[in-house]
Amino acid sequence: MKNYKPKNRLTTQAYIDGVLSGDRVILSRAITVIESNLESDKILAKEIVQGILPHSGKSIRIGITGVPGVGKSTFIEAFGLHLVKKGHKVAILSIDPSSQRSKGSILGDKTRMEELANLQEAYIRPSASGDTLGGVANKTGETMLLCEAAGYDVVLIETVGVGQSETAVHGMTDFFLLLMLSGAGDELQGIKKGIMEMADLVVINKADGDNITMSKIAQRQYQNALHIFPLSESGWSPVVTTASAIKSIGISNVWKQILKYKTLVDKNGYFLKNRNHQQIKWMYNNINEELKQLFYGSKNIKSELSTLEKGIVASKISPVKAAQQIIDKFKNSFENKNYSNEV
Amino acid sequence: MKNYKPKNRLTTQAYIDGVLSGDRVILSRAITVIESNLESDKILAKEIVQGILPHSGKSIRIGITGVPGVGKSTFIEAFGLHLVKKGHKVAILSIDPSSQRSKGSILGDKTRMEELANLQEAYIRPSASGDTLGGVANKTGETMLLCEAAGYDVVLIETVGVGQSETAVHGMTDFFLLLMLSGAGDELQGIKKGIMEMADLVVINKADGDNITMSKIAQRQYQNALHIFPLSESGWSPVVTTASAIKSIGISNVWKQILKYKTLVDKNGYFLKNRNHQQIKWMYNNINEELKQLFYGSKNIKSELSTLEKGIVASKISPVKAAQQIIDKFKNSFENKNYSNEV
């Protein structure tokens, strides 16, 4: 990668001032810097984030997931419009590590949220691209901080609901909303294990017309199922509601539930505790990713791992011994150099 | 730690031969070597495991969990006796990282399984102690391989059901059994999130006397709840049964369900696929633990991390920048030495 500096970059201070003043054009340009893979941009990005950091954090961060076909973009449009009507400024981001492989994030197609996209009080940004979920999550996380500094007081982060990205979104939001359909069973298999247990709110979407009865039945089933599951550390019992995004039914209730949650977790201290925990965990996730990179990025290691894997499957070497063997090699090369250096 | 070699150690070959011949005394002594923290024992342990490795793997590995009070030791006694009656040789191990802090694994108290403990066809070994869950899991995993090589064709691994150890047990077993009580709700809060979704079989224990009706209701509730959750990769739909371990009711049905599962996963290839996956993951878990040890074990790193954590909570440094900063330091010291070495 060349250390080429794009001509059209502003000064760090200009980005910071622009973002803090809520200038949407500068916000977008700052996010472009965050998303860039150029070395010079990476330095600039860190300085921008550092500058806006004290002004970030003042939003409620809502994760939204659901399998394709559940009506996510329609729901986000209706929900976003409701929030704007209530006087909020809404930023809509997404995490979708698959988007660079042209599978496409729903937000890539802004036209699906035409009305919302045209409002000054809403800011829609499709998913950053990247090779690793960790990289994409970093970019979305920093974009979220920028949006908060620019005055957006509700941040919606959507995820496609078919991979690991839900966990990443859950790890950076205050509230997690799962969209589902009635007539479950088959549809459910698109939802990965563990996602259900993350949900603070399950919304049965498309509860309109002939679907109302089925949706009510599904609501009761999910509510019963969720009650059987362990209580979250937040002290909040997950709620199941029905909605029809396309008819704007049940949308205000979703927001009411979120406010109710916020009141609870502000009072019992979980909100702040969870935020701090998430921020610190964000650092450790990055550290652990980098450590793995340091080890697994080596060519020799890669070919040796593949040999060890074969030996393990053939019961020729135990997993513990295999790990010890390769780590010893890594450490020895490290320590020998250390030693020679000191002589 | 001194490199002191205990006097009463046998030769590697004597351990291997003893284990393979099913000698219980030598099996126990070999496990003691596995559990030892002496450097010389660690080398010996690896040689023993390496020697018996081709003879391991021929059991069905069953994980059993449930909160304290659910009647786990009574259940394991009844279940173990049933298996012995059916002609099986049963090894009973446990993972409990808390046991060294004298919280106590149920298996520490063998007297609770008096009848089973006296049978030649059953081998009971309480949890190894250790500082980390990873270390304890390694020891239990290798003990399991030894028991298999000694001819035990059913291995039960119990866990206390209050921490991360369920995930470790789930990661080393073929089948995961969750013991519960009727009149749920309150008791459930002892079960951590995600445990429920791991279960292949939920057994409502203490389903006797006045409790039968309640247990049947609980069975139906859990069965409904589990149906709502996503299908496992194994293709098996989790089953909920009732049992009374103390009256030996429903125990044979538990074994029937496990055999039914085994038939399914043998046929669809999941059994072998999962075993291979588990073994390889075991290696990677060890590697990743060691890498973390290499980094986090350093004194300088520790004190700097605590400073960075404070900075993050006070919004003075972003998590991404904090991680970059400390990793750069680690890498630089590494690379500089590398460079000096080559000059």
Categorize the per-residue pLDDT at A115 as very low, low, confident or very high, splitting at 50, 70 and 90. confident
Is residue B218 over pLDDT 90? no
List CB contacts (< 8 A) between A222 and chain B: 228
Distance CA(A181)–CA(A12), nearest Å, equals 46
Q: State mean pLDDT over A252-258.
A: 98
Distance CA(B204)–CA(B214), nearest Å, equals 10
Is the Cβ pair B319, A283 closer than 8 Å? yes
Q: What is the pLDDT of residue B100?
A: 45
Q: Write down how long chain A is.
A: 343
Is the Cβ pair A230, B188 closer than 8 Å? yes
pLDDT tens-digit map of A274-321: 999 999 999 999 998 888 888 888 778 888 999 999 999 999 999 999
> Burial code of B96-127, b = ≥16 C-beta within 10 A, e = fewer?
bbbbeeeeebbbeebeebeebbebebbbbbbb
Q: Show the CA angle centred on residue B278, arms to residues B273 and B280, nearest 5°.
A: 100
Distance CA(A170)–CA(A297), nearest Å, equals 28
Cα distance from A115 to chain B (closest Cα, Å)? 34
With contact defined as beta carbons under 8 Å apart, do A145 and A49 qualify?
yes
Is the Cβ pair A319, B286 closer than 8 Å? yes
With contact defined as beta carbons under 8 Å apart, do B200 and B261 qualify?
yes
Q: What is the pLDDT of residue A14?
A: 97
List CB contacts (< 8 A) between B46 and chain A: 318, 320-321, 324
List CB contacts (< 8 A) between A282 and chain B: 319-320, 323
Task: Nearest chain A residue to B43 by CA: give it.
Answer: A321
**Count of alpha carbons within 13 angstroms of residue B270, beta-carbon side:** 14
Is the Cβ pair B221, A228 closer than 8 Å? yes
Q: Tokens 């070699």, residue? A: B5
Cα distance from B89 to chain A (closest Cα, Å)? 22
List CB contacts (< 8 A) between A308 and chain B: 283
Distance CA(A249)–CA(A203), nearest Å, equals 12
pLDDT-above-90 percentage for chain A: 58
pLDDT tens-digit map of B313-338: 999 999 999 999 999 888 776 655 54
Of A325-339, B263-277, B279-293, the range with the highest mean pLDDT is B263-277
| Eight-state DSSP code of residue B249 | B
Q: Determine the straight-line distance between the first and last CA of chain B, rounded to whole angstroms.
A: 36
Is residue B106 over pLDDT 90? no
A46, A193, A315 ranked by CB distance to B53: nearest: A315
The model carries a pTM of 0.77
Q: State mean pLDDT over A99-124.
A: 68
- Return all residues near B5 (Cβ < 8 A) that are at least 6 apart: B38, B40
Categorize the per-residue pLDDT at A110 as very low, low, confident or very high, splitting at 50, 70 and 90. low
- Strand ranges of the sheet holding B239-242, from the earlier edge strand across to the other edge: B122-124, B90-95, B154-159, B60-65, B175-180, B201-204, B239-242
Task: Nearest chain B residue to A140 by CA: give it.
Answer: B320
With contact defined as beta carbons under 8 Å apart, do B89 and B149 qualify?
no
Helix (H) or strand (E) holding B49: helix B39-52
Instruction: Please name which of B224, B215, B217, B231 lies closest in space to residue A226, comparing C-alpha atoms.
Output: B224
With contact defined as beta carbons under 8 Å apart, do B115 and B7 qualify?
no
Categorize the per-residue pLDDT at A154 as very low, low, confident or very high, splitting at 50, 70 and 90. very high
